[in-house]
Chains A and B, each alone.
Chain A
Amino acid sequence: MKEKRERVPVNWHKELRLLPGYIVVILWVLFTFVLLGWVFAASLSKTADIFKNRVFSFPTGLHFENYIKAWGASNVSTFFTNSLGYSFISCALLILICAPAAYVLARFAFKGNKLIQTSFVSAMGVPVIMVVLPLFSVIARLNLLSSTWSNRFVLVFLYIGINAPYTTIFLTTFFSNISRTYEEAATIDGCTPSGAFWKVIFPMAQTGIVTVTIFNFINIWNEYFLSLIFANSDKLRPVAVGLYSMISAMKYTGDWAGMFAAVTIVFLPTFILYLFLSEKIIGAVTGGLKG
């Protein structure tokens, strides 16, 4: 719910002083809107109209068939379902794996606690290129890329591994801000430490968990490099890689409208998430930094 704000009377003198700032920001926002709006409009036009540069006036009406075509003919539906599946499963498992670890790191003093936290923080700065070769070598030698399901498993495993350090560190900060009195009360009531965590603390950390999950979802949805290397066939590719191969193909078929429709389909899920949850997403960006 939006909080009701008291109307601040417009102080024209102050606003005038801020005018240069307004101009910069408004131009910036305008450009972003034109960029995204044009692509969206183009996805509803005919390729011929795009080339005549008459995208916003829709001289031949709205062409939703671009979407139907892109969705059906160009594998977009496969890429889309793949990405959806990978993202959901990885996000859920990430929480199951990272939340308990984060809780222990935030609450218990033991040998190695600091070391683990420092390692996780440094892992966030390690370029993928530094880990990808051995991963590929081991996974290929285990013959995991030969069957569809083991290949899917590999992708989910990697998405989890790559995002685990950030998720853990983010949640560690979050858990350390929850008062200890809750577990103390739970323990007095006869809860085991792990029972206290799952029944009392975990539900209380909901906001933090939701925030980091949205962030993970967007990251995994947009992940490119690992998917490019590890997804072995079109059947397994997520949207980012699939879109790339489609764009390369569309250059030859000349179906620009279809290409923009595909771009829109790829971009829409994260965009819709963002429309509703931009505050949370922005919070996750800066929240993960203070490690």
Chain B
Amino acid sequence: MNKNRKFIIGFLAPAVIMFILVFLYPIIRTLMMSFFKIDSVTGGIETWKFEGLSNYQALITTPVFQTSMWNLFRIWFFGGIIVLSFSLLLAVILTSGIRFKKFFRAVIYLPNIVSAVALATMWLQYVYSSKFGLLTTFFNAIGLKSAAATQWLDSGHKFRALLLAYCFGMIGYHMLIWLSGIERISPDLFEAAHIDGANKPQQFWYITRPLLKGIFKTNITMWSVTSVAFFVWSQLFSTVTADTQTIVPMVYMYMQTFGAGNTVTERNAGLGAAVGVILCICVIVIFTLTNRLIKEDDLEF
């Protein structure tokens, strides 16, 4: 047994050490940092000044941070509705027995493997371009001159433009999660329902929907985890630093700690850490709430 033990430790050690170095220790330290005033990220612990909850208080009362949280909430909430419903719709269509299913599935997932920077650039420089953009060309072609003249990236439209482009890129991933759930449901159930005269929408409502509760939870969790890390899209869509239309907490934290732009008057890494902790708490709250609200009935299928 002793020999086995050595073997187990030897095999586990590298991965566990990586986990401790990259996750466990930093998480604990970020949590600590959020209670201190820290002038420079690289400052040692001896330079930290304990200030209790004042970082959190400062954040809550900072208008830019409030805006960033509000933007993130809108992305999470409206984006979540768009992404989860469209991805479910596509998943249901793909499993309804249409031809070329694998091809469609592959193309719909395709945007997810493209670098977010490249994808966002395609949207910004092509789809939303006011000179040669897809939307402008399309609206001109069907004769809607006023829609064609819309400046999709001005401050009145920018947030919605950002949300739409982001959602397009995310739908494929969530569709795959839905698919994995739907494909686990036995086809016998649908067949029986079909024989009993249930049409497709009825089959969806009475068979697929109740059996997908667990998958729905997975989807919400994954959506929340990726939403919280919203960063690249915001950076690409903002033309000025601290663009109130597109700023999200992670961009705020980046400005705050790594000092991009002149909007930051005082550097305090403790504030940045507090942003991280707040986002983490959001994820945990959402996770607990969905677990409470959506009870899996442990249906056998």
Contacts and interface: CB of A to CB of B under 8 A. Distances in A.
B8 A161 contact: no
B19 A225 contact: no
Nearest to B9: A104
Given A29-B107, A131-B22, A133-B33, A125 B221 contact: yes
Interface stretch (B56-64, B98-106, B155-163): B98-106
A59 to B, nearest CB: 14
B11 A101 contact: yes
Interface in B112-139: 113-118, 121-122, 125-127, 131-132, 134, 137
A25 interface: yes
Given A24-B89, A35-B126, A274-B110, A130 B30 contact: yes
A180 to B, nearest CB: 15
Given A51-B131, A129-B229, A168-B15, A32 B108 contact: yes
Interface string A198-224: 000000000000000000001001101
A85 B90 CA distance: 37
A28 B108 contact: yes
B16 to A, nearest CB: 7
B116 A35 contact: no
B25 interface: yes
Interface stretch (B76-84, B185-193, B250-258, B292-300): B250-258
B73 interface: no
B235 A244 contact: yes
A134 B26 contact: yes
Nearest to B228: A127
Interface in A67-106: 96-98, 100-105
Interface residues of B, number: 91
Contacts, number: 253
Contact of B23 (A165, A241, A286): A165
B50 interface: no
Given A259-B125, A278-B109, A282-B106, A134 B29 contact: yes
Given A21-B96, A243-B121, A270 B104 contact: no
A289 B177 CA distance: 8
Nearest to B122: A39
Nearest to B124: A247
A: contact size bracket: 35 or more
Nearest to B103: A29
Contact of B122 (A140, A197, A263, A289): A263
A231 interface: no
B22 A97 contact: no
B18 A137 contact: no
A57 to B, nearest CB: 13
A271 B272 CA distance: 36
A103 B11 contact: yes
B14 interface: yes
A130 B279 contact: yes
Contacts of B109: 278, 281-282, 285
A14 B97 contact: yes
A174 interface: no
A207 B31 CA distance: 40
B26 A38 contact: no
A101 B105 CA distance: 33
Most chain A CB within 10 A, of B108, B225, B232, is at B232
Given A129-B276, A165-B23, A224-B116, 4 more contacts: A29-B107, A124-B225, A136-B42, A285-B109
15 contacts: A28-B90, A28-B108, A35-B122, A100-B10, A101-B12, A126-B27, A127-B280, A133-B29, A164-B18, A221-B115, A224-B231, A240-B116, A243-B115, A285-B173, A286-B180
